[in-house]
Amino acid sequence: MWRSAKLLMASSMVVLVAAGSVWAQAQMPMPRPTPPIAPAQPLAPAAGSVEGTVKKVDLTEGTVRVATGWFGLIRRTLSVTSDTRVQVEGRQGTLMDVSEGAEVKASYEVRDGKNVATHIDVTPPAQPPAPAAKAPKQ
């Protein structure tokens, strides 16, 4: 007898739990359909800038590698195109005028996963401070 009572109680608990979850779902409002997605607009290229030392110039690939940060640990490779403006110490130049070890400031855009340089400005090397004049010995 107790076995039948336990079985009846367990099965009624299962029915109540199932009925409760069905009732709870019936009370929730139906979600509104989402509007159709508009065609994707082409993304504008991301822009950036870098300032550092030229570590490598590759004329065949048309790239410049610039090192920045502490000890030049952060490196960024820039692709140079025919649209890239290169200035060397204030005058118009080309990629051939950029030399390794030169200090540069460059602006670039990310296009198809590549950093494409829009402007490269080669700054003049810093002048070391002039030695202090020594007083004549008497």
Handedness of CA 52, 53, 58, 59 (dihedral sign): positive
In angstroms, the CA 53 to CA 125 distance is 11
Domain ranges in the chain?
A: 46-123
Whether 94 shows a pLDDT value over 80: the answer reads yes
pLDDT in tens, 128-137: 666 655 656 6
Q: What is the mean pLDDT of the chain?
A: 80
Task: Mark 100-138 as b/e (b = at least 16 C-beta within 10 Å).
Answer: eebebebbbeeeeeebbbbebbbeeeeeeeeeeeeeeee
Structure tokens at 131: 């030695």
Whether 81 and 117 have beta carbons less than 8 Å apart is answered as yes
pLDDT in tens, 28-39: 566 677 766 666
CATH tag, 46-123: 2.40.50.320
Residue partners of 8: CB distance under 8 A and separation at least 6? none
Count of all residues that appear for the chain in the document: 138
